[in-house]
Amino acid sequence: MFDKMMLCDEGFENVVERGGVVGFALLARLPYYRGLGLSMIEDIGLTIDGEPIERGDIRFSVRERSWTLDEMESVYDDRWNFGEKAKVTVLRSGGLTPGAHKVEIAIRMRVSYLPFVPTTKTGRELQLAA
């Protein structure tokens, strides 16, 4: 139900640090109506223009704090709230070219009352400004 709201239209941009483009970022929302502790986010998978992104190249940020996906496994004192826009950054030298890119995201989360680990997926074209 919330899969169509996972990807945000704004916030799709290259990331510049110390004068160089070190990757790109997008904004995403949690596809779960209650919010979850960060340790309950099992994985965030990204595919850009048909190319899967390595888990180790993904960083997750909310409220000015950032983690690798591996670090998130043991974050028990913070959460991703319903409706909150998180920044998902991909480390990639040079980032992406300006223009349209097909972005797919899959979020796997552990929900205490479910006997399985759901993965919610969505994708669409996002525009990277020049």
Q: What is the CATH number of the domain that holds 78?
A: 2.60.40
Cα(69)–Cα(88) distance, integer angstroms: 10
Q: How far apart, in whole angstroms, are the C-alpha atoms of residue 83 and residue 113?
A: 21
Per the structure, the count of domains in the chain is 1
Amino acid identity, position 114 = L
Q: What percentage of the chain exceeds 70 in pLDDT?
A: 98
| Phi, psi (degrees; rounded to nearest 5) at 84 | -75, 135
Distance of CA 31 to the CA centre of its chain: 11
Sequence-distant (≥ 6) Cβ neighbours of residue 107 within 8 angstroms: 6, 28, 30, 31, 41, 43, 44, 45, 119, 120, 121
Q: Which of 71-75, 113-117, 123-127 has the lowest mean pLDDT?
A: 113-117
Domain that holds residue 44: 3-128
Of 69-78, 83-92, 93-102, 104-113, minimum mean pLDDT range: 104-113
Helix (H) or strand (E) holding 69: helix 69-72
Q: What are the angstrom distances between the C-alpha of 38 and each of 12, 14, 61, 110?
A: 22, 25, 11, 10
Q: Record the tokens describing residue 3, joined without a space.
A: 């899969």
Q: pTM score, two decimals?
A: 0.92
